[in-house]
Structure 1
Amino acid sequence: MFMSFLINFEKLVGFLNSISSKVSATLLFLMMILTFSDVTGRFLWRPVTGTYELTYLWLALIVFLSLGYTQQKKGHISVGVFIDKLSVRAQAVVDGITYIIILVLLVLMAWQTYSYANQVSSSVTGDLKLPVSIFVLVCAVGILFYALTVIVDFLKAVRKVVHPNES
């Protein structure tokens, strides 16, 4: 029962991370086109209005929306000089403790990001008059996707503690 829940939950989180990483990649591509157009526009006709605003807003979205996918692919930096020498069960215990700490921090980050979005609900950007709170809320969603991925990893670590010989 636990295994079927874990597999289904992992598929759901993987699907959410896949969507958010594709949105992030699309924004990166659009940011590249926008920056190229702005730079060439300075020499040919005139620069693109709002490039600076869109660049910093999209960059925040790119970072936050790709965190969960990076965690899912184990792309974050980790140093395991001492941990690698422990048994599988001991490594899983250390991983579980680490995931709990990360999860607490991510919940606090998501809460504060949501709170900040409420504070800036009436703020808009300078040139394009885009509402800042929407971008901040999407960043909070990215943090939540990251937290869901950490929950999946935590559950896998618990499984390794209980059954260290299973893959």
Structure 2
Amino acid sequence: MLSTLRRLADGLIGLSATIGSLGLIFQVVVILADVTGRHFGRPLTGAQDLSQMAMVILVFGAMALCDRLGGHIAVDIFETSFPPWFNRLTDVVSALIGVLIFVGIAWTVYESSKLSQMLNLSTNVIRLPKVYFQWALCAFSLVAALGMLLRTAELILAGRDIRKEPA
């Protein structure tokens, strides 16, 4: 059961990271076009809008993979001083706190997206609708939260930390 969920979660995490990677490539292309255009006196119109929205995709698209690989900041200077059960407990608690944080982000941004949709909010220069990027942020946050929740279940039920295994 957990292995099936893990395969499904890894697929979602991989998709999320791939979309985040596409956001990074897009970001680089936008910056390159804008800088080159500025050199010739023709900057890319809306480069700031495109960069801001690409950053949403880039950062939150990669968040689930960061957790899957154990890339979040961890202070482990006392880890060797504590018994293994306590270290596992802190891993479980920190994963649950992460779930709450990312669900909170998703909920807050979803509530904000309703306002953006109602008022037709868009970016300043090229008028990109903000709501689609807010929905993407919600989806990426929920994928990260689900990954953390599954990691919690694996720590409790299987006694294994997925962050220490190859992706």
Q: Is the 8 A contact 1:34 1:51 kept in 2?
A: yes
Q: Distance in 1 between matches of 2:97 and 2:67?
A: 15
Q: Distance in 2 between matches of 1:101 and 1:72?
A: 15
1:153 to 130, 139, 151: 151
Q: Deviations over 1:91-124 (max 9, x none)?
A: 2122112222222222222111100111111111
Q: Is the 8 A contact 2:49 2:123 kept in 1?
A: yes
1:142 to 140, 143, 146: 140
> Which residue of 2 is the match for residue 92 of structure 1?
88
> Which residue of 1 is the match for residue 124 of structure 2?
126
Q: Distance in 2 between matches of 1:148 and 1:52?
A: 32
Q: Is the 8 A contact 1:21 1:65 kept in 2?
A: yes
Residue 135 of structure 1 and its aligned partner are, at CA, apart by 0.3
Q: Is the 8 A contact 1:89 1:160 kept in 2?
A: no
Residue 78 of structure 1 and its aligned partner are, at CA, apart by 0.4
The answer on 1:102 being equivalent to 2:128 is no
SS of 1:79 mapped into structure 2: coil
The answer on 1:48 being equivalent to 2:44 is yes
Aligned length: 159
Q: Which moved more, 1:141-150 or 1:83-92?
A: 83-92
1:13 to 9, 16, 25: 9
Q: 1:91 to 1:159 in 2, by over 3 A?
A: farther
Given residue 99 of structure 2, which amino acid in structure 1 is its aligned partner? L
CA RMSD of aligned residues (A): 1.8
Q: Is the 8 A contact 1:92 1:160 kept in 2?
A: no
Q: Is the 8 A contact 2:16 2:140 kept in 1?
A: yes
Residue 45 of structure 1 and its aligned partner are, at CA, apart by 5.1
Q: Distance in 2 between matches of 1:149 and 1:106?
A: 11
Residue 141 of structure 1 and its aligned partner are, at CA, apart by 0.8
1:113 to 109, 112, 120: 109
* TM-score normalised by the chain length of structure 2: 0.87
1:79 to 48, 67, 75: 75
Q: Unaligned 5+ residue runs, structure 1?
A: none
Given residue 155 of structure 2, which amino acid in structure 1 is its aligned partner? A
